[in-house]
A and B are shown apart, each in its own frame.
Chain A
C-alpha cells in the first residue's frame, strides 16, 4: 500500500495528521472566516464608492426630467430670477455660454498642451528644464481653481483690462486644462514602441517626420483621452468663472472685452438661493445638464476611444 511506495514521506507526514479522512489544516475554519470577512469588507467599500454617484445621478435625473422643457432650453434667464411668481425663462444663454467659453479655452489649451507634450516627450532629452516644466504642470493640476480665478481677475480682468469677458474666462480655464493635455500627450507619445521609431529613423526620417507620420497617430487615443478629461473638468468649473466671466442674462457671442457672459455653473451656484419655484427649477436643470455633458464626454472617451485604439492596432 501507500507506506511501501513512499516510506519516507509517509513517516514524516504521520506526525501531523493521518492519511485517513479529509485533509484539513488546523486553522482551516479561521482562515475561511477571515477570507469571508475581508471579502465582505471590500464589497461594502465598493458599494460606498458607488452609492454617491448613483444617488447624484438618480436625484438630478429625477429632478431634471421633471423641470426640463423646450422653452427652458431655448429661452434665456432674463427675468427668470425675478420674484414675479409668473416669471418664465430658460437656460439658453448659460448653455451656449458654457460651450462658448469651453470651446474658446480648448482652442488655447489643446494646441499648447499638445505642443508642450511633444516637446517633453521627444525634444527635451529629459533635461533640467523639462523636469521643471513637468513639476510645475503637476503642481498646476493641484492648485485650487479659485486661486487661479483670483489670479485671472487680478491679471486679466484688471491689469490687462479685459474686464469680465469670455476671453478672460477661457484663458483661466485653459491654464486649468493645460496640465492634463500636456501630460496626456507626453505619456501617450512615450508609449510608442521604440522599435517603430528606430525603424523610421533608419529609413532616414527626421524626428519631425517620425512624430508626424507615426508617433502622433499611435498616440492619438491617449491624447484625445487627456483632452476630453480636461474638457469635462473645465465644463464643471465655477470659481474661476465667477472671477473672470461675470454673468449675463443674454446670449452673447463676444469673446472680448468688458462683456459678461452666462454659464451653467453660475446658475447652479446662485439660483437655488432665490426663493421662487422657477429659479430653483432652473438650478436643478442646470445641474442635470452639467452632469449630462460630463457623462457624455466620459462615455465618448471610454467607448469611442477604446474602439479607436483597437482600430489603430488592428487596421492601420
Chain B
C-alpha cells in the first residue's frame, strides 16, 4: 500500500522543491514500513568532488546507486571509499574543512542543498561501521535508541514490536530474545555487529550504508553478516565498502573500483572480476596494486 503510494510519488514528476519537503518529512510510524520500502532509495552521484581543506579526496565521481541492490565500493586503503560512503549521509559534515562540489541526490533531492536537515537525512540513510559500536546500554535499549529519540512509537507494545522485528531482520532475535535486558557489551563481536545493523534498521531507513562491516569479525560471523546483507537488499538500498575482493564478489551486484580519489571502473559483480576493462582494476584484482 505504502509502497504503491511511494511509487506514484516517484513517477508524478514532482518539482525539486516539492521533494525537498519530502526529505524533511518525519517518518510516519507504521508497522509495515519495516518490510516494504518500495523503489525509493535511489542515489545519483553527479560530478562529486570532496575536499578536506585544500586536499581533494574525491575527484568528479559519477555513479548511480539503485534500490534493492548491493553496490560495493572497493579499492586500496586511502582511495577515498570511506569518504565517499560517509558523504552519502553527511557524516563528514563535522570534519574541519570538509566541503563538496557536484551533487548527491536521493530520489531526486540534492542532500547538500540548503533545505535538507542532516538529522532527518540520517533517518533515511542508516549506517553500520567497521568496528561494532554498541552503546553501553542493554540490547533492548540499543535497538530502541533511534525510535525513542525520534518518538516513532506510541506505546511500549509498539516499541517491543519494532525491537523484535529489527532483531529478527538482523538475524539476532533467536540468539538473544531471552536476554534483551543484558548489556550489549556482553555480546560477541559478530553479535554486536548484527545488533548495530538491527539498531540502524530500527529507524526504518531506505538506504543502509555499511563501511567495512565485516572486517573486524571472524570468518563465521563474516559469513553471517554477508548473508544478512543479501537479505537486507530485498528491502533496502545497500552500499558496502570493503577491501575484501572475495566479499565484493560474493555479495555485490554493482562494483565500483576507486583509486586515489578517482572512480576507475564500475561494473556488474561477476564481470568486473573476470574481465576488468581498466588495467588499474586488473592490477588491483590480481593483488599487484599497492
Assess A202 versus B89: contact at CB under 8 Å? Given A314-B185, A316-B137.
Answer: yes
Within 8 A of A (CB), among B110-157: 119-123, 126-127, 129, 131, 133-138, 145-146, 149-150
A202 touches B119 (CB 8 A): no
- When distances are taken between beta carbons in the complex, the residues of chain B under 8 Å from A315 are 183
Stretch of A42-50, A78-86, A212-220, A272-280 contacting B (4+ beta carbons < 8 Å) = A212-220
Within 8 A of B (CB), among A203-236: 203-206, 209, 213-214, 217-218
Q: List 20 A-B contacts (CB under 8 A).
A: A193-B133, A196-B135, A199-B129, A199-B134, A199-B135, A199-B199, A201-B122, A202-B89, A202-B91, A203-B145, A203-B149, A204-B119, A204-B120, A204-B146, A205-B149, A206-B119, A213-B149, A214-B136, A312-B136, A315-B183
- When distances are taken between beta carbons in the complex, the residues of chain A under 8 Å from B126 are 202-203
Measured in the bound complex, the distance between the Cα atoms of B96 and A300 in whole Å is 41
- The yes or no answer to A52 lying at the interface (CB within 8 A) is no
Min CB–CB distance B93 → chain A (angstroms): 9
Measured in the bound complex, the distance between the Cα atoms of B122 and A195 in whole Å is 16
- The yes or no answer to B200 lying at the interface (CB within 8 A) is yes
In the complex, the 9 A-B pairs of residues with the closest C-beta atoms, listed nearest first: A195-B133, A202-B127, A204-B122, A203-B146, A199-B133, A204-B123, A204-B119, A209-B149, A316-B136
Q: B interface vs A, CB < 8 Å?
A: 89, 91, 96, 119-123, 126-127, 129, 131, 133-138, 145-146, 149-150, 183, 185-186, 196, 199-200, 203
A204 touches B136 (CB 8 A): no
- When distances are taken between beta carbons in the complex, the residues of chain B under 8 Å from A218 are 136
- When distances are taken between beta carbons in the complex, the residues of chain B under 8 Å from A196 are 133, 135-136
- The yes or no answer to A313 lying at the interface (CB within 8 A) is yes
Neighbour of B150 across the interface among A125, A202, A204, A312, CB < 8 A: A204
Measured in the bound complex, the distance between the Cα atoms of B93 and A198 in whole Å is 12
Assess A125 versus B96: contact at CB under 8 Å? Given A195-B131, A313-B136.
Answer: yes
- The yes or no answer to A289 lying at the interface (CB within 8 A) is no
- When distances are taken between beta carbons in the complex, the residues of chain A under 8 Å from B136 are 196, 214, 217-218, 312-313, 316
- The yes or no answer to A61 lying at the interface (CB within 8 A) is no
Per-residue B-contact encoding for A153-192, CB less than 8 Å = 1, 0 else: 0000000000000000000000000000000000000000
The binding surface of chain A is classed by DSSP as: helix
Min CB–CB distance B122 → chain A (angstroms): 4
A203 touches B129 (CB 8 A): no
A316 touches B138 (CB 8 A): yes
Q: Tell me the nearest residue of chain A to B132, going by C-beta.
A: A195
- When distances are taken between beta carbons in the complex, the residues of chain B under 8 Å from A312 are 136
Min CB–CB distance B99 → chain A (angstroms): 16
- The yes or no answer to A200 lying at the interface (CB within 8 A) is yes
A214 touches B200 (CB 8 A): no
Q: Tell me the nearest residue of chain A to B148, going by C-beta.
A: A213
Q: Tell me the nearest residue of chain A to B122, going by C-beta.
A: A204
Min CB–CB distance A216 → chain B (angstroms): 12
Min CB–CB distance A219 → chain B (angstroms): 11
B133 touches A198 (CB 8 A): yes
A198 touches B200 (CB 8 A): no
Min CB–CB distance A195 → chain B (angstroms): 4
- When distances are taken between beta carbons in the complex, the residues of chain A under 8 Å from B199 are 199, 203
- Known: A198-B133, A203-B146, A204-B119; 15 extra A-B contacts, CB below 8 A, are A125-B96, A195-B129, A196-B133, A196-B136, A199-B129, A201-B91, A202-B127, A203-B203, A204-B122, A205-B149, A213-B149, A214-B135, A217-B136, A314-B183, A316-B137
Assess A198 versus B91: contact at CB under 8 Å? Given A203-B149, A203-B203, A218-B136.
Answer: yes
Q: Tell me the nearest residue of chain A to B147, going by C-beta.
A: A203
Assess A198 versus B129: contact at CB under 8 Å? Given A203-B199, A203-B203.
Answer: yes
- When distances are taken between beta carbons in the complex, the residues of chain A under 8 Å from B129 are 195, 198-199, 202
Min CB–CB distance A77 → chain B (angstroms): 50
B196 touches A199 (CB 8 A): yes
- When distances are taken between beta carbons in the complex, the residues of chain A under 8 Å from B122 are 201-204
B183 touches A200 (CB 8 A): no
Measured in the bound complex, the distance between the Cα atoms of B121 and A315 in whole Å is 32
Measured in the bound complex, the distance between the Cα atoms of B146 and A218 in whole Å is 18
- When distances are taken between beta carbons in the complex, the residues of chain A under 8 Å from B133 are 193, 195-196, 198-199
